[in-house]
Each structure stands twice: as C-alpha cells, then as structure tokens.
Chain A
Amino acid sequence: MEQVIFYCFAALLLFASSMVITVRNPVRAALFLILAFFTSAGIWLLLDAEFLAMTLVLVYVGAVMVLFLFVVMMLDIDLAPLQEGFTQYLPLGIFVAALITIEMIAVLGASHFGLDIVAAPIAHPEGYSNTKEIGLLLYTIYVYPFEIASVILTVAIIAAITLTLREKKSKSQDIDKQIKVQAKDRVRIVKMEAVKKQESES
C-alpha cells in the first residue's frame, strides 16, 4: 500500500516538475511548482517526517509561492521575444543540461547514496515524534549553526527593509498623525453676527 502511494506521488511529482519548465504560461508554471511542492510534502510524510512536510507546505506553498504568483500575475510577459534564438542557443543548452546531469549522477549516484552506504529508513515505533527529534537536534548538537543562520537571516531582513526605506517625496501618508487627528483640528466653527443688508449699496 505504502509503495503504491509512493509511486503515485513520485509520478505526480515528476509530471508537475516537468510541466513547470515546459508549460508556456508563467502563471500555470507557478501553479505546477505549487503542485510539485505539495506532492514532495506528501512523500516526506511517508518518511514520517511530518514536521518537514508541514513546514514545506506552510512556508513554500502558503507564503513564498503566493508572493511569487502575485508578481508573476502582475507581469504581462510577452513570450515571443523570449523564444527568439531558441535554435541558436540549443546546442549550448543541451551541453549545460548534459553536464549538470552527469554531475548529479556522479554526486548523488549509487556510489555515494547506495543502500550499502546509506541504509533504508527504518519504520519508526509508535509515539515517535519527528518534531521533537528535530527540535532536540537543532537546539543541542546543531545549536551554533542554527543561531548563525538565524543571525544571517535577521541581517538579510534588515537589509531588505533599509533598501525600501527611501526618502518619500510622493504623497505618502503618516498614519500616526492621521489617527491622532480630532474633530477640533479639522473643523473650525466661526460664530458670526447676523448682519442686516445695507440698502444704500444699490
């Protein structure tokens, strides 16, 4: 049963990821990428890695891809100039693709990740919590790399925010001032005496 599910997910993943690069419409490509993330989360679930699977869906499907889709939808991409020179660059493309494939086989092939080197994952006993295991590892053995990674991310956040903080010359609004505003700042009630019309003017 588990094998059937695995092969279903694997086939779906391969289909989705090949559609990402072949489909013409960029929005559809992004949607297929979402499907690919979702199916790989399914495969991770089969490995009892529920924390990783859920986080993949939460972070990539739920946040990153939404923003990605946001940008792709707003761009009105004209496909014709992108496809120009396809045949011209084809040999180079094939060469690079072949190179990458060979590299991947050399690094990830059976000589490094075969069953005799990396054992097949064993079925975990009931009550095994992947979340707890990851938490223990992250905060004990790998605590320094974890902390360093978080510091780097914080630096990146601050950098990204400072990039957007330019001097505002356009009609930007200061919301704090807007909220503090009260009726007496905006409306001035002027009391005036009624004046009788002068007859002599006419």
Chain B
Amino acid sequence: MDSIIALTNWVTEQTVLYTVIKIAAIIVPLMLGVAYLTYAERKVIGYIQVRIGPNRVGPFGLLQPIADGLKLALKEVIFPAKSNLYLFLVAPVLAIGPALAAWAVMPFDATLTLANIDAGLLYILAITSMGVYGIVIAGWASNSRYAFLGALRSAAQVVSYEIAMGFALVGVLIAAGSLNLGEIITAQQGGFWNWYWLPLFPLFVVYFISGVAETNRAPFDVSEGESEIVAGFHVEYSGMAFAVFFLAEYADMILISMLASVLFMGGWLSPFQGIAGLEALFSWVPGIIWLLMKTCIFLFLYLWLRATFPRYRYDQIMRLGWKVFIPVTLVWLVVVATAQVFDIGPWFTEAVL
C-alpha cells in the first residue's frame, strides 16, 4: 500500500509525465470509442435497412472493428507516383491532430478536465477550424482530379458552415456569460428545463446540423460523394494512411456530439435535477456517465441521419448554410441578447461579469 501511495505521489510530482498519462487516459478510450462507433454505425444502419449488420467476427460481430483495424494496419500504403509525397504524408497527420487536440479542454466532470482554460470555447473553435487542412492538402497532394474536386468541395463547405456554427456558439456564451466550458455547464444548473436547448433552440438545431456538415458526414458528405467522385479526397490513400483519415472523421463526430451535449444539454449535469424523488435516486451516478449517455444520443442521430436522407446537392448545401442558417442565428442572437439584458426566465438571470 505504501509503495502505491509513494508511486502516485511520485507520479503527481512529475507534471510532464502526469500530463502524458492524462492525455493517454483520454485518447485510448477515444480510439476505442471510434472503433465501436464504426461497429454501431454498421449495426444501426443495418437494422434500419432490415439487415443484421456485421455478425461473423466474435459474438454479435463485436470483434469486427478490431479485425478491420488489423486489416488496415497490415495493408500496404501506396504512394501515387506523381503525388507531392511530403504533403501526401503530412495530410493525414493534419487531419487527426486537431481532432485529438480539441479534446484537451473537454470537461468530463466537475473536476475532470485536462486543461481548464478560460477561453475553452474559443480554443475548440480555433482548433476544429484547422481540421479542414488535412482534407484540402490530401486532395491537392494526391495529384488526382477526383481527390482535388473533393478537397475543393470540402473547403468551401467547411468555411461556410463554420460561420453559422460560430454564431450558434456566440449565443451560448452570451447566455452563459463565459467562454469556459465548465462554467457554461454550471450556468445550466437546475434540471432538464434549465438547459440551453430550450431558450436557444434554433441555435441548438443550427449547431448540430452545422456540426454534421463540418464533419463531412451524410447528408453533407459531398467531399467524398461516391456516386460522383469515387471517394473524394481520400481516393489515393490506402492502408494506415486511409485509416488515420477515418479515425479523424469519427473522433470529430464524437467531439461534435459531446460538445452539443456540453453546450446545450447540460454536460455532466443530471437530467433529474430538481425532481424530488428521482434526484436522490440517481444521485450516485457520476457525471461522466450522464455526459456519455447524452453524447450517445447525438451519435445515434448522426447514424440515423445517414440512414435516412439522400445526399444534398452542392448548391443546396451552400444555400442552406448562407441563406438559412446564418440569418436564423443572427436573429436569435438579438433575441438572446435582449433576454440577457432583461433577465428573462431561469436561463438568463446569471449575472454577467
């Protein structure tokens, strides 16, 4: 026992080592989450389409993502002869770097954060806005027409939807009076009806749909639209280089889902807060469980959307982003600011500054 305490003491003293351990404690479950998100995706879409989905590898096909990962890791990485080799290799790294770095400020619980920084929301916006470079550079460096078209589509789409997404986040930070993610959650204290999804409902919808567009998922997946441009920006990638793009895309999906639950659904707060009997009954559940459950709801929405809607036409994507979402967010920002000034409802009574 003494040796364990001594060991933990020694570990906490080594701040660099301790931080590395904490980073690993985020990334390893995240990667596992990504693996089983692909499994969940195939199962959910399978059942929606009255199929069974993967069921051969392991019980209920549970080992399928492991087998897929192994297969990708063992495959040969092919370098197109006329590609820009250096940028071709840097592109997947640029895709996954921001997707992982954004997790640094995520509040998993009241005290469980890697870096509790003041401008957490700004940090996430800034870091996620860099994810598009992986796609753009991959498309250009491949020296292939299909990949290039995918990259161009993705660049224009991501930049357009980032504006609507940014405005939706501005609404949240006006309501919470803080850029710190932990403080945004505590500002939503008081149960289901006090979360921001209700007063900021239009922003909530815009945020999630923009999130789907930002991650290039169906029905906004024109950057890899199979029917037109084969597989878009990653046509030329194979093996592990392709797998890294895949990891980045799914890590981004989980990130957007968790952010939606942090910003609009009360993060790690219990949904039974303020309900006399149920609050005590469920008080033993740790906050991270609530957060993960909320995240799973949004992830299911992602899969549901993919199984339900056909792909958008490109000009309609642009129209939705610029002519529908941005005006909606601008109008609702005025509403939120007015409500904040006049302290309306339980949501806007928090003292600012």
Contact = CB atoms under 8 A, between A and B. Distances in A.
B219 to A, nearest CB: 15
A9 to B, nearest CB: 17
30 contacts: A27-B140, A34-B133, A50-B119, A54-B119, A54-B122, A54-B126, A55-B126, A57-B126, A57-B127, A58-B125, A61-B126, A61-B129, A61-B130, A66-B132, A66-B133, A66-B155, A66-B158, A69-B136, A69-B155, A70-B136, A70-B155, A70-B156, A73-B151, A130-B119, A131-B119, A131-B122, A132-B353, A173-B315, A175-B315, A175-B319
Interface residues of A, number: 25
A99 B35 CA distance: 59
A51 B119 contact: yes
Contacts of A131: 118-119, 122, 179
A63 B158 CA distance: 9
Contacts of A27: 87, 140
B117 interface: yes
Interface pairs A-B: 6 shortest CB-CB: A62-B129, A57-B126, A54-B122, A58-B126, A54-B126, A50-B119
A31 B137 contact: yes
A50 B118 CA distance: 9
Nearest to A69: B136
Given A66-B159, A70-B156, A55 B122 contact: yes
B123 A62 contact: no
B9 interface: no
Contact of A70 (B119, B122, B152, B162): B152
A63 B129 contact: yes
B227 interface: no
Contacts of A57: 126-127, 129-130
Interface in A92-129: 129
A129 B122 CA distance: 13
A61 B126 CA distance: 8
B293 to A, nearest CB: 30
Interface of A: 27-28, 31, 34, 50-51, 54-55, 57-58, 61-63, 66-67, 69-70, 73-74, 129-132, 173, 175
B317 to A, nearest CB: 11
Interface in B110-134: 117-119, 122-123, 125-127, 129-130, 132-133
B177 to A, nearest CB: 10
A101 B126 CA distance: 33
A129 B123 CA distance: 14
Given A27-B140, A57-B129, A74 B152 contact: yes
B140 A73 contact: yes
Interface of B: 87, 117-119, 122-123, 125-127, 129-130, 132-133, 136-137, 140, 148, 151-152, 155-156, 158-159, 162, 166, 179, 315-316, 319, 353
Nearest to A64: B159
**Interface residues of chain B: helix, strand, loop or mixed (majority):** helix
Nearest to B118: A129
Contact of A54 (B87, B123, B158, B353): B123
A57 B136 CA distance: 17
A62 B126 contact: yes
A151 to B, nearest CB: 16
Contacts of B127: 57
Contacts of B119: 50-51, 54, 130-131
Nearest to A58: B126
Contacts of A173: 315
B338 to A, nearest CB: 17
A125 B163 CA distance: 34
Nearest to A57: B126
B193 to A, nearest CB: 30
B18 to A, nearest CB: 17
A161 to B, nearest CB: 10
Contacts of A58: 122, 125-126, 129, 166
Given A57-B126, A132-B353, A50 B137 contact: no
A129 B183 CA distance: 14
Contacts of B152: 70, 73-74
Tell which of A34, A61, A69 has the most Cβ of chain B within 10 Å.
Answer: A69
B165 to A, nearest CB: 11
Contact of B159 (A63, A73, A130): A63
Nearest to B180: A129
Contacts of B129: 57-58, 61-63
Contacts of B159: 63, 66-67
B158 A175 contact: no
Contacts of A69: 133, 136, 155
Given A66-B136, A69-B155, A51 B122 contact: yes
Contacts of A74: 152
A62 B130 contact: yes
